[in-house]
Structures are given as C-alpha cells and as structure tokens.
C-alpha cells in the first residue's frame, strides 16, 4: 500500500504543522530545502500568497532571495505571522513590512533590512550578525535577554572550546554594537544603553580570565553597569554605608567621654541606640560631611578613611552616570 505522505515535504513546524508541498529528492519542498537555490529569485509574490493562505512561514529557506518590499503583516490578527527558524541569509528584505512578525530563531545574517518595518517584531534568538538595519523601524522589538551568539558562546565554554567561545563573543559584541548604533541614530537611547552594556560585557568575556583588565571591567559593571545604571551606584552606596556602620558598631566609636559599641551587658534598646549612632557616623563619613560629634577609635579610623575615599568617588560617579542618563 502506497504511503500518502511519501511525496510530501517532511518538514514539521515547532507546533506540529506539516508542510503540504510536494517533496524533492531531499524529502523537502522547494521552500524548505536549503539546497534549492533562491539566489536573486524574486519570491515576493509567492511568499505573500503563502503567508496569506494561513500556512506558517516556519523553517523557510530563503537565503539570498529577492524579497524587497515584501508584505508579511497579518492584518486579520492581533498576532503576527509565525516565521520561526527561517533562513534569510543575505536576503534582500529592503523596505519589507514585518510588523509583529514572530521570527524567533531565524537567521538574518548579513540580510539587508534597510528601511524595513520591524515594529513589534519578535527577534529573540535570531542570528543578527552583519544585518543591515539602516533606517529600519526598531521600536518595541523583542530582542530577548541573550542574543544567539551569547548562548552559543556559553555552551562552547562549557565544552571547553576556548577558541570557539572567543570567536562567538566577538560576534556577539559586533551584533550588540550594530544594534546600539542604529538605536542611537533613531533616538532610542534606552535600547542603545542596554546594548552598550551588552557590548561591554561581551568584550569583557574576551579578556583573559584572571587579568586586571577583566577585573576592572567587572568592577565597573557591578558599580554602575558601564555608566548605564545609576541604581547600582545607589545600591552600592547603601551597602557600603551599612557595612561600615556594622564595623563601627562592633569596634566602637566615641562621643567624647562615652564609648558606643555593641555590648551584651546592655539592653536591646541601648544597643539599637548605639547602632543608629554608628549608622549616623557612617553616613556622615561616606558623604564626607565630617561634623566631628562622633569619632572612630583604633582601627576604625582606617575604615573611616577608606569609607570617605569611596564615598567621594561614588558620589562623583553617581553624578556622572545620572547626568549621562538624563541628558540623552
């Protein structure tokens, strides 16, 4: 008995949909067979007909295809067309209409998306290496927390493939830089700041593990997110003040004749009073006010000097980061 699916394309989408097109020698149809050449072929009308027929665009192999101005906007639904895990390598998608397109996992490597409308598109886990975004609409795109090269680089590191991981981190940095520049040109400074931070993180991972440059880069990331996170500066300041307050509370500070430090011989309320005095002294020291009504004792003097140094540095850093964010 003849199999009814023997001459049907064997491609299955992630949701279980099976392509109904006739299969070639590889068991795949023209659209899903990457061996079928599409270079320079004008497939715009055929692709639009495919999408409007209700069939998903998942897994389509359209490397080097001519798709300039293609309209893949699903006007009859709140959700865009599904175009997951497709291949648009070096495809010409100039001025394409891709509003809300679900392109998760697809490859747009070196594709021409100049002038394309990508508003609200889902580009999570896409390969965007060398993609041309000039004058594209990039508002409200879902980029995802990790770009594809980042995930691949972490996997390569787990496999102890040092050279492969380094190459992937370089690619990830290039992708982040490309998106950041386009966002800056379009005045999308929040996105630009996010991808600048990503760019610096990817650059850090290319440095030797125990090098001073990598350590300094990591410290800058923790303190201020490479200048993109004033909140981190505030949180670091609070943590520094609390830590020093605990040290002063343990070692003791003096108000002249009285010594204030933790003691098991006094009540809880008295210890709380002493801690709040230590906290007050820590705030005054961190902000370099130095009223002089409370003074450190012994080794606490060294802690106070270090806190004052870090406090002046941190406040200056906060001003720089805050002004940078507010003046964009």
**pTM of this structure:** 0.83
Q: Which domains does the chain have, with CATH numbers?
A: 44-210 (2.160.20.80), 230-326 (1.10.287.70)
CA–CA separation, 110 vs 91, rounded Å?
8
pLDDT of residue 94: 97
The answer for residues whose C-beta is within 8 angstroms of residue 198's C-beta and 6 or more apart is 147, 172, 176, 180
The SS3 of residue 132 is: strand
* 328 residues of the chain, pLDDT tens digit each: 334 556 899 999 888 889 999 998 889 999 999 999 999 888 999 999 999 998 999 999 999 999 999 999 998 788 999 999 999 999 999 999 999 999 999 999 999 999 999 999 999 999 999 999 999 999 999 999 999 999 999 999 999 999 999 999 999 999 999 999 999 999 899 899 999 999 999 999 999 989 999 999 999 999 889 988 898 999 999 999 999 999 999 998 898 778 888 888 889 999 999 999 999 999 999 998 888 888 998 888 999 999 999 999 999 888 888 887 777 6
CA–CA separation, 99 vs 137, rounded Å?
9
């Amino acid at each position: 008995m003849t199999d009814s699916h023997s001459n049907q394309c064997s491609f299955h989408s992630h949701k279980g949909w099976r392509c109904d097109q006739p299969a070639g020698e590889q068991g795949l149809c023209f659209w899903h067979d990457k061996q079928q050449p599409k270079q320079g072929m004008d497939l715009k009308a055929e692709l639009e007909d495919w999408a409007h027929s209700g069939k998903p665009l998942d897994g389509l192999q359209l490397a080097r295809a001519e798709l300039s101005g293609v309209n893949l906007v699903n006007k009859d639904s709140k959700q865009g067309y599904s175009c997951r895990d497709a291949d648009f390598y070096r495809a010409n998608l100039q001025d394409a209409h891709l509003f809300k397109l679900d392109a998760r996992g697809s490859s747009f490597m070196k594709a021409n998306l100049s002038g394309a409308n990508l508003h609200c598109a889902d580009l999570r886990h896409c390969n965007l290496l060398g993609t041309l975004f000039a004058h594209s609409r990039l508002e409200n795109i879902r980029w995802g927390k990790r770009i594809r090269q980042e995930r691949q680089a972490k996997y390569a590191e787990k496999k102890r493939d040092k050279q492969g991981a380094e190459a992937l981190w370089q690619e990830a940095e290039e992708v982040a830089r490309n998106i950041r520049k386009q966002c800056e040109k379009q005045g999308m400074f929040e996105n630009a700041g996010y991808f600048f931070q990503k760019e610096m993180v990817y650059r850090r991972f290319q440095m030797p593990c125990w090098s001073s440059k990598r350590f300094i880069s990591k410290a800058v990331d923790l303190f201020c997110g490479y200048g993109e996170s004033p909140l981190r500066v505030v949180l670091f300041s609070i943590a520094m003040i609390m830590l020093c307050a605990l040290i002063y509370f343990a070692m003791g500070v003096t108000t002249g004749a009285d010594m204030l430090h933790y003691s098991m011989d006094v009540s809880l309320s008295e210890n709380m009073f002493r801690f709040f005095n230590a906290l007050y002294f820590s705030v005054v020291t961190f902000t370099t006010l130095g009223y002089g009504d409370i003074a450190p004792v012994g080794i606490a003097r060294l802690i106070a000097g270090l806190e004052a140094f870090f406090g002046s540095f941190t406040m200056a850093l906060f001003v720089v980061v805050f002004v940078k964010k507010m003046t964009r």
